[in-house]
């Protein structure tokens, strides 16, 4: 049985519902759901708004009530089949008396997968894969975390049209306009952690906080993503704004770094150096963040750190803000990314191109990841 037009419309609505909670559900996925009655009329809808809250299926089924009996549940992610902070959605679906379930993406997590199989074994018609690409895109952060056992990494940079992130004299504020900077804060608010390098901290003294726009309608305050400083030699000044109390901070240093002053001020984690001896082992950094249930990372630190992440195949998405400005000289937006020849280039799929004030925002997904180079940053 193939999906009906009503089910496809319902799935598009479910994807839009899921997007309403982007950045609010970690370490859980974003999920949207629509319930159709026996005549394929929508009678309930919902989304998972926050970790520990009711799942999208439960919200939609509560709204539908008895009208769900004999109907169809359309959901962006396979219904869970485990008891966590809430009960299994598979059981809620069976109790509601539905005849059919359509989901877009299978649940890859060890704990929760299997809901589709359980429902099929109970006699329901179950179909998967409807609008899967669209549903995967809206849930890319969590799916990366579940499949690869590491956070999803978005690298953001601002540059002139000729790729310069600073002028020849080092000045860089502000390359892009106010609208683009506000947009960056919206993206920061969706992340669990914001990473910058010690070079950026020393040069710009950033706050790395979320501010300057209204939070989502179901929240009253901005989220406070973890601020992470990749600081191999423990050079972060104790007076740095990134160490203030506006948000939690973690400083990652090398195992042999003298960091006693920092350790008395903020949280510090010691990590192996990269094999080249330059910088930290970035996979170890992401593994540490995974242990802390960090699902999504917003990478903002300088060209060298970005190059290191790209060289190791650890960047999943790129967000570039391009200003209608030409410098002709100055720092490049990206440092050495382990590319010696065109065949090793990192290729991207363009997802979106949007004008933000006078600037251009390009969002792209990293399509292929060359084998990690022997040079780490």
Confidence of residue 118 (pLDDT cuts 50, 70, 90): very high
Query: With contact defined as beta carbons under 8 Å apart, do 157 and 165 qualify?
Result: yes
Q: Which of 57, 78, 300, 312 is the catalytic position?
A: 57
Indicate whether 215 pLDDT > 60.
Answer: no
pLDDT tens string 120-136: 999 999 999 999 999 99
- DSSP output for 51-63: TTSPPHHHHHHHH
Nearest to 155 by CA among 107, 195, 210: 195
User: Does residue 8 have an active-site annotation?
Assistant: no
- pLDDT tens readout for residues 96-108: 999 999 999 999 9
pLDDT at 372: 46
Mean pLDDT of the region 260-278: 90
- Who's near 273: CB < 8 A, 6+ residues apart? 232, 254, 255, 256, 279, 280, 281
- pTM score over 0.75: yes
φ/ψ bin of 97: left (φ > 0), alpha (ψ from -120 to 50), beta (otherwise):
left
DSSP characters over 276-316 = TSSSB-HHHHHHHHHHTT--EEEE-STHHHHHHHHHTT---
How far apart CA 212 and CA 218 sit, in angstroms, is: 18
> What is the arithmetic mean of pLDDT over 293-302?
93
pLDDT digits (tens, 9 = 90+) for 9-49: 999 999 999 999 998 899 999 999 999 999 999 999 999 99
> Could you tell me where the DSSP H helices lie in the chain?
5-19, 56-64, 89-96, 115-121, 132-138, 140-148, 178-190, 198-204, 260-263, 282-291, 303-311
Distance of CA 198 to the CA centre of its chain: 23
Q: Say what the pLDDT of residue 369 is.
A: 53
Average pLDDT over residues 182-201: 93
- Say if residue 3's pLDDT is above 90: no
In which band, very low, low, confident or very high, does the pLDDT at 81 lie, cut at 50, 70 and 90?
confident
CA-only gyration radius of the chain, Å: 23
Question: Rounded to whole angstroms, how far apart are CA atoms 194 and 355?
Answer: 24
**Average pLDDT score, the chain:** 90
8 Å CB contact between 357 and 366: no
Per-residue confidence (pLDDT) for residue 112, from 0 to 100: 60
């Amino acid at each position: 049985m193939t999906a009906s037009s009503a089910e496809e419309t319902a799935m598009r609505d479910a994807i839009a519902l899921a997007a309403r909670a982007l950045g609010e559900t970690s370490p859980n996925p974003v999920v949207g759901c629509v319930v159709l009655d026996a005549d394929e009329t929508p009678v309930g809808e919902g989304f998972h708004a926050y970790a520990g809250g009711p799942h999208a299926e439960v919200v939609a089924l509560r709204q539908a009530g008895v009208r769900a009996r004999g109907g169809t549940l359309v959901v962006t992610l396979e219904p869970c089949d485990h008891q966590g902070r809430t009960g299994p959605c598979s059981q809620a679906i069976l109790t509601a008396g539905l005849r059919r379930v359509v989901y877009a993406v299978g649940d890859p997590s060890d704990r929760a997968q299997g809901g589709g199989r359980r429902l099929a074994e109970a006699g329901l018609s179950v179909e998967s894969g409807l609008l899967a690409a669209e549903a995967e895109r809206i849930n890319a952060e969590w799916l990366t975390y579940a499949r690869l056992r590491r956070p999803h990494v978005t690298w953001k940079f601002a540059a002139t049209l000729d790729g310069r992130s600073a002028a020849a004299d080092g000045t860089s504020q502000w390359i892009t306009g106010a609208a683009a900077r506000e947009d960056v804060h919206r993206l920061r608010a969706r992340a669990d952690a914001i990473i910058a390098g010690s070079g950026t901290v020393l040069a710009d003294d950033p706050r790395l906080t979320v501010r300057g726009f209204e939070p989502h309608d179901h929240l009253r305050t901005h989220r406070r993503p973890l601020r992470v400083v990749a600081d191999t030699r423990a050079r972060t000044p104790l007076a740095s704004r990134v160490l203030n109390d506006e948000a939690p901070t973690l400083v990652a240093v090398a195992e042999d770094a003298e960091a006693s002053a920092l350790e008395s001020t903020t949280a510090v984690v010691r990590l192996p150096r990269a094999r080249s001896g330059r910088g930290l082992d970035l996979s170890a950094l992401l593994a540490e963040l995974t242990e802390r249930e960090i699902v999504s990372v917003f990478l903002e630190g300088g060209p060298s750190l970005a190059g290191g992440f790209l060289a190791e195949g650890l960047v999943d998405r790129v967000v570039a803000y391009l200003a209608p400005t030409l410098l002709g000289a100055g720092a490049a937006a990206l440092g050495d990314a382990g590319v010696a020849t065109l065949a090793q280039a990192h290729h991207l799929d363009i997802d979106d191109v949007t004008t933000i004030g006078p600037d251009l925002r390009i969002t792209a997904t990293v399509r292929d990841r060359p084998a990690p180079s022997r040079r780490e940053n």
